[in-house]
Structure 1
Amino acid sequence: MDILRIATAGSVDDGKSTLIGRLLYETNSITKDKIEALESASKRKGLDFLDLSLLTDGLIAEREQGITIDVANIYFSTPTRKYIIADTPGHVEYTRNMVTGASNAKVSLILVDARQGVVEQTARHLSIAAMLRIPKVIICVNKMDLVQYQESTFNAIKDSLAELVAQTTFDGQEISFLPISSLYGQNITQKASEMPWFSGNTLLGELEAFEYASTLAHAPARFPVQFVVRPMTEAYHDFRGYAGKISSGTFKAGDAIRVLPTGQESTIATIEKFESKLDQAIAGDSVTITLTTDVDISRGNTLVLASEENAPALKDFSAQVCWLDHTALSPGKTYLLQHGINITKAKISQITERLDVATQTSTQGVDTLKLNEIGTIALRTAQPISADQYAANPANGAFILIDEFSNSTVGVGFVK
């Protein structure tokens, strides 16, 4: 069975943890002892229903305050598919947690409180889903039970959301809208008896039906070398292999390759995985590649196909960035830029624009980017990086910025 990674997003108290708890409960993914503990905890709180949010809010502070603070990965499965859900916080100051939680997701569940409608966090999360190019976005209008399951309320929110989606830079991503009640399980795994006017699929039905064909296998081939394998034993005295994970594309035995940044060329002799030899390997495979000739390759080099265009060696470039630090980003500052396993110094030349997530408009010529703000910057690196445009090859187009003194990750960037 394949694994589908999902990230939740939404404003404070929109019901993300309860939604995930409901999915776990209705797919029989909870053990009997956990259900008994959940019943006891709900009774102690004086509730006449199961507080399903307790299944995901594991930190003591989360349980005491009734909020989500850190990202939690939740696992469940159905007979046809396995799922990993990143339960992310809703507070604006924890938006950076949402970015990291959604970085590997193929589906984003964005929750909207039916009583509140579209808020600034909704726009921010849509912007992040668009920026990360998450293939499918399901916008769940939750707590329909608190508005008497009114179709008119859902339609009004859907119209506002559709207008916001149209203003956001989505590119070929699937967008769907769903009225739900996490608390009472309406439209989660079963059709909503209280909303006969909605003819669409349930949430689980949407997830089960989603087919994700990875574009990375068809992107330009990139193999960052993480380790040079030299056993130096009698049986393998002459063995030299290059281990790593293929970030994009396909490599086959016999392919002519080029080493970046040196430009040396050779041919793939074998592709090995454990004790097996493969005819080919695709994006996501962790393998060891051997070559027909000895060339100077070390950790941090990248193998590409000689028949394809090289990843450009970027030193001056622009990037979209989401700022994650309390200290604002200002032009002239120097950071460490990590692309893959390579780290180099980078200086911010200028901030060319800042995105207003509420209106989806850009402001030119700004001086700073503050915590959780999104903008476009120009930067110059001390050493070139072999990176693609994020839009063309997400696996090789993202990087992080690190404060060289505190070693904190302060920004996540996407090569433009």
Structure 2
Amino acid sequence: MMAAVDNLKRLCIDHYFEEEIESAMAVAMDLVHSDDLLDATLSFRLMRETGHDVSADDVLRRFTTSGGEFSLALTKDILGLLSLHDMSHLNIGEEASLHRAKEFSTKHLASAMRNLEPAGLALYVRQSLDHPYHLSLMQYKARHHLRYLQSLRHRNTTAMEELAVAEFQLNKLLHQKEMVEIKRWWMDLGLAQGIPVARDQVLKWYTWSMTILQGSSFSRYRVEITKIIAIAYVVDDIFDLVGTLEELSLFTQAIKTWDIAAASSLPSCMSLFLFFPLKWGALFDGFMVQAKWLATDQGIIVMQQEVTPQSSPTTSLWDDMGSAKDEAQEGLDGSYRELYLAENPAGDAEEHMRRLIAREWEELNRECFSRRTFSGSFARACFNAARMVSVMYSYDEEQRLPVLEDYMRMLLL
């Protein structure tokens, strides 16, 4: 039963079976105390994901020595190790035990891959290590999970898989329809032609709203939020690449007061915005604060201390770690990495930033799984936004975003 619930969730069709899944949690409450690694860890993850109070330490104690070391006998249980690896990312404060679980499962899954049969299982393990389930885009993982299920040749295609395929196709048609509307709006807006330095990445911007808000009921929200994201990106480019501090100050004031007359004293790329019915004073104030800090070399530390309540430190950290050379732009955004290395020349900036990101994930898990601060739908949106950040800023050596490109091909093209 737990495997079926897990498949429903991994294929992103669990919303059709919410009552059945909740009923299955009664079984999970018993299995979480099982001596079988797969049963116990899978039941733990499903229970925590659905908001039930369950202790990771209590679950893992059955599989570790008094010193906290895992039994080597577990290394032969590949599905159990995969489930242990998945569980290890749901940390809400059990840092020591789940950190050991992550290290143990990662080490032995990587070692086992060379001899795994069938080949589909080896690919599935590699994908799980590269893109852990909880930290990854659900729709992206769903395609890979379906491919894995279909690779199990000893069984026929199930009704569950057929439903997943139908769901994928319906979503793709809906997303394509939304993209047509957004592209038409973007071309009619004329910003791409009027501001040559600005990014023209409508498809990339749409993936933010497509990922964060999933389901047909959010279609209109996805379209409108993409428009907001597009404007924010263009304004960001203007602040980073075009204006002087004086021009940016005039620009911000003109937007806040909607002063059309100010258009004559601003560069054309800025004056365009005065003819749109936009009242985004808070956004422009935020960009202006950043511009002033960078102009006076105050750096990213001030930004982290002062702006964190209103923005995502995870986004900034992934941006810096990914290199922030998006589209070969050469603006000055400020870099946490550079500041850290200036203060710690011998330090490992990337490792330090990854620890900070892990800490942010722990806090998000705590808010959504433990405190139940948010509704289920809002918690899912928060997780999806956090998952999208790493994909949007994980550049390879060629300054490309391979996971994002693969994701867009799967869901849109």
TM range (shorter): under 0.3
TM-score if structure 1 supplies the norm length? 0.21
Q: TM-score, normalised by structure 2?
A: 0.21
